[in-house]
Amino acid sequence: MTHPFHPWHGRSYEFVVRRKNWGEDRVYFRDEAGEVVSLPTAWTDAGGEDPFVVLAAGRSPFRTGDLLALAELIDQLDGRSGSAKEIAP
């Protein structure tokens, strides 16, 4: 598990398969209980290093797309009708 904020970060698991489901690249593996579970491939080392993380070289733990998605979620939770891309007056 390579996602820095995931509670299983740094742990290794028994790989089962990597495949796309509904357009999303996922890795399936067995957890501590032996159950098959899945996570986005980008959260593991199965997909290789994220190009942004390589170029950022430790200077930024956040990707632009993730920050925009977070801003949009905050707007939705805050009840704002506009998009995160809009600038408030």
Which residue has 């904020």 as its token pair?
Answer: 5
Three-class secondary structure of residue 36 per DSSP? strand
Phi and psi, residue 44, nearest 5°: -125, 175
Give me the tens of pLDDT residue by residue for the chain, a chain 89 residues long: 666 666 677 777 788 888 988 888 898 989 888 899 888 887 787 877 777 777 777 777 777 788 888 888 898 898 875 555 555 54
Domain ranges of the chain: 1-48, 50-89
